[in-house]
Amino acid sequence: MKEQIEDIIIEEKEVIIEEIVKSKGLRGKVFVSYAPGRVNLIGEHTDYNMGFVMPCAIDLKTVALGRFTNHEGEISIESLNLREKIRVNFDNIKPTKTWADYILGPIFLLKNKIWNLKGGLEIIIKGNVPLGGGLSSSASCEVAVSSLLNEMFNLKMEKIEIVRISKKAENEFVGVPCGIMDQMSSVFGKENHAMVIDCKTEEIEYVKFPQSWSVVICDSGVKHKLGESEYKKRQNECQQALKIIKERIKNNQIESLRDVDEDMLDILKRENEILWKRAKFVVEENKRVLTAKEAIKKEDKETIAKVFIQSHIGLQKEYEVSCEELDKLVEIAYDFKYTIGARMTGAGFGGNTVNIVEKGKEKEFAEFVKEKYKSKTNKKTEIRIVKISDGAKSFQMEI
Ligand code: GLA
């Protein structure tokens, strides 16, 4: 285990050193952090309803490198992926509505703690989490930056504080009202383990992922514009559904859809068909997470196949956040003999599907899906066989 962590660190050092030597020629003491993306195995749109999710951190990550400079009051941030650099004044950090906000957000929120900054700060980012594909590229960037600042300024933040700062950056600085799943996964991920997160109590149960199963992610290659506005709309619909149920049954113990049962759903059905569909999906999805947890422990493939397809169909027909391309990818995946489970993952409206496939059959699966997806949609899919990985790390080094 220790050896593997060191291997990862060495690998990340090399990526960064190579980039710096090539493009910057920096020398001296630098701080490095990295934070993984995640794939959600099951439990979609349940986090902001205080329910259960089952993500895992993956070996796609954002690496952040920081150093102190002599430029008084200046924060310089650079994305090596985008080949863009911006400079802002420490006293005047504002959202830019660009990629830079994922970096500026945590800096802004931690400003009070790093107030004694003398000179300037330079942060360089490089990552391989596909942007906007439902694999938490934004959370991995926010967590990488929060962890980096923690290391640079010796803030001694607990891991859960890093989660909270990163989520707050996304909610308040970037302006996306996400739940807590992505940042939790990026911080608390554990190699070879799925995480069952209770989004109400923030407790995590790690479940060993079967050695004979593999996680494969298929990118639909599309990102529908509707995504962001529909995400907010679904949150509002869940709130409205909750409000009606609470009013009708006059029960103050019900704090979220997490506390709603089938009988309460019936009340909603009579009043508002759309809200009923949304709430029904959430109530059932929560149960599916718990069923999937037990199934993973027992390596029970049939149950996984069942709950994954139920989850996908619910997202398609009841929560209405899937799209044609994701549906096709799931349909194709289930035509492959060694698929254990397949469903869309993340917020929806494009992005990726998550597939559990028998170990040893991943490449065959990838070929199969690529060819069929091309012939059915005339689109290309990028397929990633991922490793379930540890959460964020930070360290210092001399170069
Ligand atoms: C996005 C959000 C998460 C979660 C998922 C849907 O990834 O960032 O908080 O709500 O959508 O499950």
Condensed to tens digits (0 to 9), the pLDDT of residues 336-348 reads 999 999 999 999 9
Indicate which residue of 182, 219, 259, 390 is catalytic.
Answer: 182
Question: How far away, in angstroms, is 32 Cα from ligand 1 center?
Answer: 27
Contacts of 60 by beta carbon, 8 Å cutoff, 6+ apart: 36, 37, 127, 128, 129, 130, 135, 140, 384, 386
Question: How far away, in angstroms, is 383 Cα from ligand 1 center?
Answer: 21
Provide the sign of the torsion angle of the four alpha carbons 338, 38, 189, 194, taken in this order: negative
Distance separating alpha carbons of residues 53 and 181, to the nearest angstrom: 7
Predicted confidence at residue 10, as pLDDT, reads 47
47 is catalytic: no
Distance separating alpha carbons of residues 305 and 337, to the nearest angstrom: 12
Per-residue pLDDT tens over the stretch 311-327 = 999 999 999 999 999 99
Element holding 12 (H helix, E strand): helix 2-23
Give the number of other CB atoms < 10 A from CB of residue 164.
Answer: 19
pLDDT of 14 over the 70 cut? no
Question: How far away, in angstroms, is 237 Cα from ligand 1 center?
Answer: 15
Ligand 1 contacts CB of residue 346 (under 6 A): yes
Ligand 1 contacts CB of residue 20 (under 6 A): no
Strands 74-79 and 120-127: parallel
Predicted confidence at residue 8, as pLDDT, reads 43
Ligand 1 contacts CB of residue 182 (under 6 A): yes
Per-residue pLDDT tens over the stretch 119-167 = 899 999 999 998 878 899 999 999 999 999 999 999 999 999 999 999 9
pLDDT band at 27 (very low <50, low <70, confident <90, very high): confident
pLDDT band at 9 (very low <50, low <70, confident <90, very high): very low
Q: Which atom of ligand 1 is nearest to the CA of 40?
A: 12
Single out the residue of 72, 61, 60 nearest to residue 34, CA to CA: 61
Q: Which atom of ligand 1 is nearest to the CA of 231?
A: 11
Average pLDDT, the chain: 92
Question: How far away, in angstroms, is 188 Cα from ligand 1 center?
Answer: 16
Ligand 1 contacts CB of residue 230 (under 6 A): no
Predicted confidence at residue 23, as pLDDT, reads 67
pLDDT of 25 over the 90 cut? no
Nearest residue (by CA) to ligand 1, atom 11, is: 347
Q: Which atom of ligand 1 is nearest to the CA of 170?
A: 8
Distance separating alpha carbons of residues 343 and 322, to the nearest angstrom: 10
- Angle, alpha carbons 218-185-363 (nearest 5°): 25
Ligand 1 contacts CB of residue 227 (under 6 A): no
Question: How far away, in angstroms, is 179 Cα from ligand 1 center?
Answer: 6
Please give the single-letter amino acid code of residue 166. S
pLDDT of 17 over the 60 cut? no
Ligand 1 contacts CB of residue 210 (under 6 A): no
Ligand 1 contacts CB of residue 184 (under 6 A): no
For a ligand 1 pocket test, name from 181, 237, 281 the mutation site with the most ligand atoms within 8 angstroms of its C-beta.
181
pLDDT band at 223 (very low <50, low <70, confident <90, very high): confident
Ligand 1 contacts CB of residue 258 (under 6 A): no
Distance separating alpha carbons of residues 187 and 164, to the nearest angstrom: 10
Predicted confidence at residue 169, as pLDDT, reads 97
Ligand 1 contacts CB of residue 47 (under 6 A): yes
Strands 193-198 and 213-223: unpaired
What are the contacts of 239-246 at 24+ separation with CB within 8 A?
240/272, 240/275, 241/268, 241/272, 241/275, 241/276, 241/278, 241/279, 242/279, 244/268, 244/271, 244/272, 244/275, 245/279
Sheet with 350-358, strands from edge to edge, namely 339-344, 350-358, 213-223, 382-386
**The token pair that represents 376 in the structure block:** 């059915």
- Angle, alpha carbons 80-81-86 (nearest 5°): 55
Question: How far away, in angstroms, is 208 Cα from ligand 1 center?
Answer: 23
Ligand 1 contacts CB of residue 344 (under 6 A): no
pLDDT of 2 over the 50 cut? no
Per-residue pLDDT tens over the stretch 357-384 = 999 999 999 999 999 999 999 999 999 9
CA 204, distance to chain mean position in Å, is 16
Question: How far away, in angstroms, is 348 Cα from ligand 1 center?
Answer: 9
